[in-house]
Amino acid sequence: MARRDVDVARMWGEASVRREDGGRGEWFAESRFAMFVHWGLYSEAAGRWRGRTYHGISEWLMHVARIPAREYGRLARRFNPTAFRAEEWVGLAKDAGMRTIVVTAKHHDGFAMFKSAASRFNIVDATPFGRDPLKELAEACGKAGLRLGFYYSQFQDWHEADAAGNTWDFAGPGDFERYLRTKAMPQIEELLTNYGPVALIWFDTPGSISREASAELAAMVHRLQPRCLVNSRIGNGLGDYVTLGDQEIPLTAPEGLWETVDTHNDTWGYADNDHNWKRAGELIGRLARSVSLGGNYMLNVGPTGKGAIPGESAAILREVGRWLGRNGESVYGAGRSPVGRQAWGCCTARPGALYLHVLNWPATGELWVPDWKGKVREARFLASCEAVAFSRKGGHLRLAIPAVAPDGPATVIKLTVGGQVKAAGGGLFLHDGLANEFAAPFASLHGCRHGKRSWMEKFGDWHHADVIVGWKRGSSARWEFGAVRAGMYCLYADYACLPEADGSEFEVSVGESRWRFPALCTGRAEGRVRIRRERLGMVTVPKAGRYVLSVRGVDVRGEGAFVLQGLVLER
Ligand code: FHN
């Protein structure tokens, strides 16, 4: 084993995979919405150890609190999840409109949530509970027609001297091969032989696992269950589909099959202290944005140590499910849209139809789809089937909408179209009454480059941004956009500026407006880029037409110390 600790930069493995084979992924592309469950001994500890609260992801408690394996293992003696009812979890997933459940069979703490002959550190042999919840879950999923997949931490196992991750109990490199052969492989084999059809094995944090080990694991999964998918976090580009970074809702999408995984609050495992639930509207927005780029959305719930999914989380999920009951046609079996993201939301598509997900409802009485090239047969609110009047103006499509959204938390308008929908360029457009984002991936650059930054806010609470990097004097980024009327807009910049670049000077321009602004330090913290939004001033768009918004480096200090995520025009 090259290193015992896990290199954060290599947490998630490759962002591309070999091409999926044998039709194994057909169901995956249709299913769109899944439930992820992080449940283990850490749920019992709930983010607290020896009277102290550890903020961030609770399933890493053993790691962040440096708890000796022997002491952590004692949690098993009191782990008795008597409130666990497999049918209730499955019922909630169904109510929420989720079609697959992926549950932690073994997380990094090394504790198996199923009966295992390979290690007694498992829920049946080591706890007073003595039941196998994965067996119960497999039966309940089978009855309800949901797919079941298992999360398995193949590289990190903090309970084992020979695996990766535990640097506080075990010194020096262990014998990874031994761990692989005596625990990881036998346990994965148990999961694939004792629980009926397994939809996927969800590997995680491949770190520096060798290509041979990844290949052997993938081959074993496919030999035991030829229809079972393997995600890209198996490492070395050997998955059947791509899992993006944690909580990453992308602006541009990878080719082929992909998913993103998200937390409901700011942790995966249960934490007493975390009530930061994403509202139903936010979840729907994240689901719709994933589907609009052809991806799947897997949302996590963290049951308590007693085995119950927190009530607030369940109630919000049910609200999402009710919305999907009315609007599911725009999600399941729908996919990538040719119309790019707009300030009001995003689009999903299927042959003959385009679905406008209006996540931010404009109170202006109109909704614009810019650069419209297709033919519209009819427009209707998907939930109520009520017709929406539409017309064309200046090459754009205009829909007449009420001042208040008819179907909160996100109204969908279905456009029935003739032939293929074609949208020109990036479709950047100034929507009245909304925040119009001019994001890094859609800029033309001169003397600077596209890049990406990922950082944690609380521990393990990952955030991601596409950014523009490599700024120097004379570098510039420009966005061309359309506007259908005159107006004054407030301009903001989203950027990160380290102390070395503090006071760097940039020039912005749009139409006749042009002025300079200083970049202000947004702080420095380990592993954090701290992107912040700064208000730069007001700009006037004098009349309908096409404009260019640009930003140019005038005096840029501190090489690499300034990154720009984008500009925002809001009115
Ligand atoms: O370290 C894990 C983390 O605990 C959690 O399981 C997430 C889910 O994607 N995966 C790893 C970090 O990316």
As a three-state string, the secondary structure of 316-346 is: HHHHHHHHHHHHHHHCCCCECCCCCCECCEE
Q: What's the CA-to-centroid distance between 179 and ligand 1, angstroms?
A: 20
Q: pLDDT tens for residues 507-522?
A: 999 988 999 999 999 9
- For the beta sheet containing 345-350, the strands, ordered from the edge strand earlier in sequence to the opposite edge, are 345-350, 353-358, 411-418, 375-381
Confidence of residue 254 (pLDDT cuts 50, 70, 90): confident
Q: What pTM was estimated for this model as a whole? A: 0.96
Q: What's the CA-to-centroid distance between 70 and ligand 1, angstroms?
A: 23
Q: pLDDT tens for residues 62-103?
A: 999 999 999 999 999 999 999 999 999 999 999 999 999 999
* 19 has a pLDDT exceeding 80: no
Q: Is 418 in the same domain as 478?
A: no
pLDDT at 527: 60
CATH of the domain at 454: 2.60.120.260
What percent of the chain shows pLDDT beyond 90? Answer: 87
Q: Is 272 in the same domain as 125?
A: yes
Conformational region of residue 287, where left means phi above 0, alpha means psi within -120 to 50, and beta covers everything else: alpha
pLDDT at 225: 97
Q: What's the CA-to-centroid distance between 278 and ligand 1, angstroms?
A: 18
Q: Is 395 in the same domain as 526?
A: no
CATH of the domain at 124: 3.20.20.80
* 183 has a pLDDT exceeding 90: yes
Whose Cα sits closest to atom 7 in ligand 1? Answer: 246
* 137 has a pLDDT exceeding 70: yes
pLDDT at 425: 46
Tell whether ligand 1 has an atom less than 6 A from the beta carbon of residue 456: no
For residues 121-138, give the mean pLDDT: 98
Residue with tokens 């394996």: 69
> Which of 205, 232, 262 is the best mutation target for the ligand 1 pocket, counting ligand atoms within 8 Å of the beta carbon and taking the most?
205
Sign, CA torsion 402/407/412/413: negative
Residue 77 lies in a domain: yes
Q: Is 156 in the same domain as 263?
A: yes
pLDDT at 255: 84
- Reading the block at residue 392, the tokens are 């064309």
Report the C-alpha gap between 96 and 87 in whole angstroms. Answer: 14
**Residue 100: φ, ψ to 5°:** -140, 150
Tell whether ligand 1 has an atom less than 6 A from the beta carbon of residue 262: no
Q: Is 448 in the same domain as 359?
A: no
Q: Is 236 in the same domain as 176?
A: yes
Tell whether ligand 1 has an atom less than 6 A from the beta carbon of residue 20: no
Q: Is 482 in the same domain as 531?
A: yes
Domain that holds residue 495: 435-570
Whose Cα sits closest to atom 10 in ligand 1? Answer: 204
Q: Is 386 in the same domain as 472?
A: no
> Roughly how many angstroms between the first and final C-alpha of the chain, as a whole number?
56
Tell whether ligand 1 has an atom less than 6 A from the beta carbon of residue 246: yes
Residue 429 lies in a domain: no
Residue 81 lies in a domain: yes
Question: Ligand 1: which atom is nearest the Cα of residue 245?
Answer: 13
Q: How many domains are contained in the chain? A: 3
Q: Is 168 in the same domain as 63?
A: yes
Report the C-alpha gap between 103 and 109 in whole angstroms. Answer: 15
Q: pLDDT tens for residues 196-206?
A: 999 999 999 99
Bridge partners (DSSP) listed for residue 489: 539
Domain ends where: 258, 292, 326? 326
Tell whether ligand 1 has an atom less than 6 A from the beta carbon of residue 59: yes
> Which of 12, 57, 156 is the best mutation target for the ligand 1 pocket, counting ligand atoms within 8 Å of the beta carbon and taking the most?
57
CATH of the domain at 364: 2.60.40.1180
Q: What's the CA-to-centroid distance between 158 and ligand 1, angstroms?
A: 14
State yes or no: cis peptide before 409, omega within 30 of 0.
Answer: yes
Q: What's the CA-to-centroid distance between 374 and ligand 1, angstroms?
A: 43
